[in-house]
Amino acid sequence: MFNEQPATKNTFRHYRVLGKGGFGEVCACQVRATGKMYACKKLEKKRIKKRKGESMALNEKQILEKVNSRFVVSLAYAYETKDALCLVLTLMNGGDLKFHIYNMGNPGFDEKRAIFYAAEICCGLEDLHKERIVYRDLKPENILLDDHGHIRISDLGLAMQIPEGERIRGRVGTIGYMAPEVINNERYSFSPDWWGLGCLLYEMIRGQSPFRKRKEKVKREEVDRRVKEDREDYSEKFSEETRSICSMLLAKETKGRLGCQGGGAAEVKQHPIFRHINFKRLEANMLDPPFVPDPRAVYCKDVLDIEQFSTVKGVNLDPTDDDFYSKFVTGSVSIPWQNEMIDTECFKEVNTYGNDGTLSPDLDNKKPEPPPKRGMWYRLCRREMCFKSSFSDEDDDSPRML
């Protein structure tokens, strides 16, 4: 079948750099045959090998492949070039929540907007937990907005699938957002994600994280101590209900934490703060977001401000790496590929062959691609797009208008 053919760099046109990931750049790309735009996350092979990141990279790819949720970024293709392994993901043009919290006027959101995002994040966590995946890195940088103002959870590099009936241990995450049980290296299942939701909701309303002020110079040990011992402080920005749900999600003991008492996402959804959210309609994409990104604005760094990666030296690739690459490079992912065909209305063409039984020219990636018209090239390069990773630097600039 056509969707089972391998993808190569010739399957795509590549455009400007959007940001940085842990192992390489993220750029915009377009599928030649359909015109669909995506974000391409490049994992440099030598950088992966130098940092012994093979298992982490493969884990992220396999977890993305498992998840089909409108609240989590989707993996559409996985392919390789001579120098990099590439994940082709949902393109999110609206920037990340960190940018919106801190660079769009006064820090923080109004309560209605914060609750809407919390509801969508709750649905994303529910979809991950149904696959027995714990996310473990919930923070504003990892929540991205699309053109319409809906959010998706991104960057699943620290996510892990938990075997049925088991609990895991691992001190991973981001300082100030890790749950007490993670810091203490105790066994857990999905409890760190509900703690993370509490941290994120608090930050959306207060305009700062609960245990560390923005840009505060403080040692990691002190932040960890605050997480384990201190109670978060609530300002006048919190209503009685938002204070209630934050304090329940930020319970130090998992047995008293909302979401950890047997009901998972269902018990979080039942909190009175969500009484105006119809979750069935939300999951069906039938609710309008409270904020819609301006298509003329750029909610990210200028391309010239994105720091370039240094050259990796002293690392050689050899045939022993091929087994890892073969597990990673699996071409297109079925459901996102089918959605692409529907969205771009190309489903009629995918089975179109010439009189001699060959593929039509626009679907044959072995034929040289004619240069795009200046109008298309200009529009695609002129329009800045955002796909920020959790490794980006803090940025205080306001969105620029084109």
Please identify every residue annotated as catalytic. Answer: 137
**C-alpha dist (Å) from residue 164 to 126, 130, 136, 264:** 16, 11, 18, 15
133-134 and 160-161 strand pairing: antiparallel
CB of 8 closer than 8 Å to CB of 79: yes
Please state, in angstroms and rounded to a whole number, the distance separating the CA atoms of residues 366 and 368: 6
End-to-end CA distance of the chain: 42
